[in-house]
């Protein structure tokens, strides 16, 4: 089946980006949201992003115009889904809302239409169960900003057909992105199983007075080789997104994250990060803002705890056959912009030190979240 028409449900940070890159790849796109004002804001963001790409010579002004012509917006759900070949859901991370939405569109969309969810963490199989097309249902998970991040995780549910998986993978390739198969429908899939716990570990370091926010961020950036500090990245992704993902992941699996109350405090105050003007840092609202960090600040903090937790969760993914080592490394490089692989970093630090750090954390917190994975223990022995 050839995909020509794509509908994106939700026009927020992820929705508008997915609509934009689909139109850039030549698809006819409909973007749907519940209010016209959200769609207006989304189109403004798409214009900003496309102008940046024109400025950089990646597309021409004429191409920008034809991309914009390929995107139609509507608040009418029936209108949005009735002609779609592929529907990608990017609405808020609320299982009840997602199931209601999928159930509703199941009776409107044509029978051949494939349903995909861009959920960060929610179980694909459960969502698919709200429809009568579980074989044509799949997770297609993009990374923020979808316009620039190369990774897309593809997550089949228990009853997703091979044909649907192939179509999803070909769609991702047609966007000139790299699909990585997440073999199991686990909490956090691949990258969020590492990203979300990292935010909390960094927040614990802050709470326990081990270092200041800027020192932790600078070390995360300059010593580990991520493009942003971890608090900067949490603010950029959205504290609301991080908080909701944490809740869902923790409810599914207590071993996936050690939630730090700082994140919940920010969320309950409405400090959602860049989008609200304040999160871990303060921002001039509405702009794409970066935090200037220095090497001097990085020198004042040793990020071994962050590295230990990241590589432990990466090992869990491999031990549990969610993805192979190469795919985990690739996912972190393409989905979070990490310069070299997480295992390469751990190797340089020394696996014995990583394991000792984890054991120390496990013993002092009496939390088996920090229990070193068997793969790491074997690496120390080996």
**Residues recognised as catalytic:** 120, 141, 153, 192
52 lies in the binding site for ligand 3HC (CB under 6 A): yes
* CB burial of residue 285 (10 Å; 0-12, 13-18, 19+): exposed
Least separation in angstroms between CB 332 and ligand 3HC: 9
| Residues with Cβ within 8 Å of residue 173, at least 6 apart in sequence | 179
Q: Candidates 72-80, 143-151, 278-286, 353-361 — which segment interacts with ligand 3HC by CB under 6 A?
A: 143-151
Least separation in angstroms between CB 142 and ligand 3HC: 7
Q: Candidates 71-79, 225-233, 253-261, 353-361 — which segment interacts with ligand 3HC by CB under 6 A?
A: 225-233
Residues 182/322, Cβ–Cβ less than 8 Å? yes
Subset of 188-217 contacting ligand 3HC (CB under 6 A): 192, 195
Quick one: which of 143, 171, 243, 343 contacts ligand 3HC (CB under 6 A)?
A: 143
Residue with token string 């609405």 = 91
Least separation in angstroms between CB 87 and ligand 3HC: 19
* CB burial of residue 236 (10 Å; 0-12, 13-18, 19+): buried
∠ Cα 137 141 145 (to 5°): 145
145 lies in the binding site for ligand 3HC (CB under 6 A): yes
Please state, in angstroms and rounded to a whole number, the distance separating the CA atoms of residues 48 and 41.
11
Peptide bond into 145 cis (omega under 30): yes
Please state, in angstroms and rounded to a whole number, the distance separating the CA atoms of residues 210 and 204.
9
Quick one: which of 113, 120, 160, 315 contacts ligand 3HC (CB under 6 A)?
A: 120
227 lies in the binding site for ligand 3HC (CB under 6 A): yes
Please state, in angstroms and rounded to a whole number, the distance separating the CA atoms of residues 264 and 234.
13
Quick one: which of 10, 335, 341, 372 contacts ligand 3HC (CB under 6 A)?
A: 335
222 lies in the binding site for ligand 3HC (CB under 6 A): no
Please state, in angstroms and rounded to a whole number, the distance separating the CA atoms of residues 347 and 343.
6
Subset of 284-313 contacting ligand 3HC (CB under 6 A): 288, 290
**Size of interface with ligand 3HC, in residues (CB under 6 A):** 22
243 lies in the binding site for ligand 3HC (CB under 6 A): no
147 lies in the binding site for ligand 3HC (CB under 6 A): yes
Q: Candidates 77-85, 274-282, 305-313, 332-340 — which segment interacts with ligand 3HC by CB under 6 A?
A: 332-340
Least separation in angstroms between CB 374 and ligand 3HC: 27
Q: Cα dist. 296→160, 292, 293, 300, 367 in Å?
A: 50, 12, 9, 7, 33
Least separation in angstroms between CB 232 and ligand 3HC: 9
265 lies in the binding site for ligand 3HC (CB under 6 A): no
Q: Which tokens is 170 given?
A: 């070909």
Other residues' Cβ atoms within 10 Å of the Cβ of residue 159: 15
209-221: b (≥16 Cβ within 10 Å) or e: eebebbbbbbbbb
- Which residue, 288 or 363, has its beta carbon nearer to ligand 3HC? 288
- Which residue, 103 or 340, has its beta carbon nearer to ligand 3HC? 340
Subset of 11-50 contacting ligand 3HC (CB under 6 A): 49
Residue 73: enclosing H or E segment and its boundaries? strand 71-74
Binding site for ligand 3HC (CB under 6 A): 49, 52-53, 120, 143-145, 147-149, 192, 195, 227-228, 233, 237, 241, 288, 290, 335-337
């Amino acid at each position: 089946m050839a995909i020509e028409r794509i509908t994106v449900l939700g026009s927020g940070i992820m929705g508008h980006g997915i609509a934009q890159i689909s139109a850039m790849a030549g698809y006819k796109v409909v973007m749907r949201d519940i209010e016209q004002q959200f769609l207006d804001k989304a189109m403004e963001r798409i214009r900003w992003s496309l102008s940046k790409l024109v400025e950089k010579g990646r597309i021409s002004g004429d191409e920008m115009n034809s991309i914009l012509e390929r995107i139609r917006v509507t608040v009418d759900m029936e209108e949005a889904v009735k002609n779609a070949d592929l529907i990608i859901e990017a609405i808020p991370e609320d299982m009840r809302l997602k199931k209601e939405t999928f159930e509703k569109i199941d009776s409107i969309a044509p029978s051949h239409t494939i349903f995909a969810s861009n959920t960060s963490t929610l179980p694909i199989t459960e969502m698919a169960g709200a429809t009568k097309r579980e074989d044509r249902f799949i997770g297609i998970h993009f990374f923020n900003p979808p316009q620039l991040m190369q990774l897309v995780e593809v997550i089949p549910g228990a009853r997703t057909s091979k044909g649907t998986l192939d179509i999803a993978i070909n769609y991702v390739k047609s966007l000139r992105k790299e699909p990585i198969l997440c073999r199991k429908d686990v909490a956090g899939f691949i990258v969020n199983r590492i990203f979300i716990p990292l935010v909390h570990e960094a927040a614990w370091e802050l709470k326990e007075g081990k270092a200041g926010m800027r020192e932790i961020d600078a070390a995360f950036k300059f010593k580990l080789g991520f493009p942003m500090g971890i608090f900067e990245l949490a603010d950029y992704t959205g504290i609301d997104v991080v908080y909701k993902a944490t809740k869902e992941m923790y409810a599914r699996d207590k071993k996936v994250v050690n939630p730090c109350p700082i994140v919940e405090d920010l969320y309950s105050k409405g400090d959602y990060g860049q989008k609200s003007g304040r999160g871990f840092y303060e921002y001039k609202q509405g702009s794409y803002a970066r935090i200037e960090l220095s090497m001097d600040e990085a020198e004042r903090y040793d990020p071994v705890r962050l590295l230990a937790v990241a590589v432990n969760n990466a090992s869990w993914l491999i031990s549990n056959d969610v993805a192979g080592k190469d795919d985990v490394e690739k996912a972190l490089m393409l989905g979070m912009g990490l310069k070299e692989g997480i295992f390469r970093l751990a190797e340089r630090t020394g696996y014995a030190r990583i394991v000792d750090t984890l054991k120390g954390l496990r013993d002092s917190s009496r939390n088996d979240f920090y229990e070193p994975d068997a793969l790491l223990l074997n690496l120390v022995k080996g």
